[in-house]
Amino acid sequence: MKSRNVEIRYQCSKPVLAGREEEYVREAVSSGWISGAGPYIGQFERGVSDYLGVEDPIAVSSGTAALHLALLGLGLGDGDEVIVPSFTFVACANAVSYCGATPVLADCDRLSWNVTVDSLRAAFSARTRAVLLAHLYGLPADIDPVLDFCRSEKLLLIEDCAQSFGARYKGRAVGSFGDAAAWSFYGNKVVSTGEGGMIFVRDPEKRGQVRRMRSQGMDPSRHHWYPVKGFNYRMTNVAAAIGCGQMEMADYHVEERKRIGRRYGANLADLETGNTVHLPVRPADRMSVFWLFGLVLKTQDPEARDRVIRRLLLEKGIQARPFYIPLHRLPMYASGLPFPNADFIGNNGIALPTYSGLADEDVDWISGAVSEIVREEAG
Ligand SMILES: *Cc1c(COP(=O)(O)O)cnc(C)c1O
């Protein structure tokens, strides 16, 4: 694959369709069920339900749609504040604002990259109604203290599991802890349907409402009767067919990411003990699925990170990616408040190639290239 005339040996991410995805897509096409109805949709929902241990999840057209409907389904709207990490994908804040609610940003932890109770407390106000907790780069946030905080302040908890499908906290899959949860099945996620998402809503009544709102809000017992304003957020049967193939291989994809994450961690440990980088933390009570293996340079040089990424591509054909620009630096969500940890991680974070099938030898070769260039640019 080529990008700007550079030969890419290792893409940062790619979907790996190593199971029966193609067979199921053919079957969807030949049966004519290609739209937002058809047998694969329910089958995919049941597959995810069984795998994650969440009851009756709802397939939708994207992770962003999943966040939007989850928030609406919990009743969030005008005048409500929802605490959102500053260091996360922009869809988190966008989904809150689609509801008419206000995203209020929280700083993250420097080492886990996730928000903590202290940072949530700093963002809390009398208008706070909910916390949108993202489990980033495959690592679950420390959920129990967040749950305690939400209970004591009477806040709703929505988990964003877009980057952490199959990750576990104290043995339980993320997404099963809060009042609602959202997953994304975009092409670079642990499990993919191309574009797609999934919602879990704990309360059965609200769950039914979300299911209806996925399809214009129609009353299931009376055709063309729309008691609420809904959306077209349906997942197609073709996408769900891919998802069914992916779910049969879900253990493989999760185990592959764990293997790759552990190997990068061991290979790059010298950089960390040499005080040059932070590697992902691995708390004993959490199982990360290493969505993308990330490292954060411990440098004061604001250009070092981009030099490392450029040299990895030009000299080695390795496509590494910068971490997110924190939301407090985007014009829409700029608040003027300082978020030093989000800034530090956003400025210095690098995501390395991580996808199922990336062989140990490849991880070793990439690690060698990263060690060499990072030492030269940021050592
Ligand atoms: C990918 C992602 C989303 C959005 O998912 P889409 O399917 O791209 O709409 C939301 N939140 C996080 C943290 C993500 O990584």
| 225 Cα to the center of ligand 1, angstroms | 32
Task: Convert 265-298 to b/e letters by CB count within 10 Å (16 or more is b).
Answer: bebbeebeeeebbbbbeeeeebbbbbbbbbbbbb
Substitution site in 135, 186, 235 for ligand 1 pocket (most atoms within 8 Å of beta carbon): 186
**Phi/psi of residue 222, nearest 5 degrees:** -150, 105
Query: Is there a single domain that holds both residue 43 and residue 163?
Result: yes
Whether residue 9 lies inside any domain: the answer is: no
Among 248, 268, 284, residue at a domain's last position:
248
Using a 6 Å cutoff on CB, does residue 138 contact ligand 1?
no
Residues 255 and 243 in one domain: no
Q: Please choose from 12, 114, 165, 184 the residue to mutate so as to test ligand 1's pocket, defined by most ligand atoms within 8 A of CB.
A: 184
State the CATH number of the domain containing residue 363: 3.90.1150.10
Asked if residue 352 and residue 369 are part of one domain, the reply reads yes
Cα of 185 vs centre of ligand 1, distance in Å, is: 8
Give residue 299's pLDDT.
93
Using the 3D structure, point to which of 199, 226, 248 is the last residue of a domain: 248
Q: Based on the fold, state whether residues 221 and 286 are members of the same structural domain.
A: no
Domain boundary, last residue among 248, 277, 299: 248
Q: Are residues 77 and 222 in the same domain?
A: yes
The domain that contains 58 carries what CATH number? 3.40.640.10
Distances in whole angstroms, Cα of residue 271 to Cα of each of 123, 139, 232, 262: 34, 21, 48, 15
CA of 86 to the centre of ligand 1 (A): 15
15 CA → ligand 1 middle, Å: 15
Q: How many domains does the chain have?
A: 2
Residues 243, 125 within the same domain: yes
The Å distance, Cα 307 to ligand 1 centre, comes to 27
How many beta carbons lie within 10 A of that of residue 202, not counting itself?
A: 17
Q: Is residue 12 part of a domain?
A: no
CB atoms within 10 A of CB 303: 12
Q: Does any domain span residue 143?
A: yes
Ligand 1 pocket member 92 (CB < 6 A): yes
Same domain, 183 and 268: no
Check: CB of residue 317 under 8 Å from CB of residue 311: no
- Give the per-residue pLDDT at 5: 73
Q: Which of 13, 87, 89 to mutate to test the pocket of ligand 1 (most atoms within 8 A of CB)?
A: 89
80 lines ligand 1 (CB under 6 A): no
Q: Is any atom of ligand 1 closer than 6 Å to the C-beta of 95?
A: no
Task: Tell me: do 171 and 308 sit in the same domain.
Answer: no
Q: How far is the CA of 64 from the centre of ligand 1 (A)?
A: 6
Stretch (H or E) spanning 204:
helix 204-213
* Whether residues 169 and 312 fall in one domain: no
Q: Let me know whether 94 and 176 are in one domain.
A: yes
Any atom of ligand 1 within 6 Å of the Cβ of 44: no
Q: How many residues does the chain have?
A: 379
Instruction: Return the number of other C-beta atoms located less than 10 Å from residue 231's C-beta.
Output: 17
> 282 and 235 in one domain?
no
What is residue 336's predicted lDDT score, i.e. its pLDDT? 87
- The pLDDT profile of the chain, 379 residues, written as one tens digit per residue, is 666 678 999 999 999 999 999 999 999 999 999 999 999 999 999 999 999 999 999 999 999 999 999 999 999 999 999 999 999 999 999 999 999 999 999 999 999 999 999 999 999 999 999 999 999 999 999 999 999 999 999 999 999 999 999 999 999 999 999 999 999 999 999 999 999 999 999 999 999 999 999 999 999 899 999 999 999 999 999 999 999 999 999 999 999 999 999 999 999 999 999 889 999 999 999 999 999 999 999 999 999 999 999 999 999 999 999 999 999 999 999 988 999 999 999 999 999 999 999 999 999 999 999 999 999 998 7
Domain-located, residue 11: no
Measured in angstroms, how far is the CA atom of residue 7 from the centroid of ligand 1? 28
Statement to judge: residues 204 and 217 lie in one domain:
yes
Domain that holds residue 299: 250-378
Mutating to test ligand 1, I would choose from 84, 163, 292 the residue with most ligand atoms within 8 A of its C-beta, which is: 163
6 assigned to some structural domain:
no
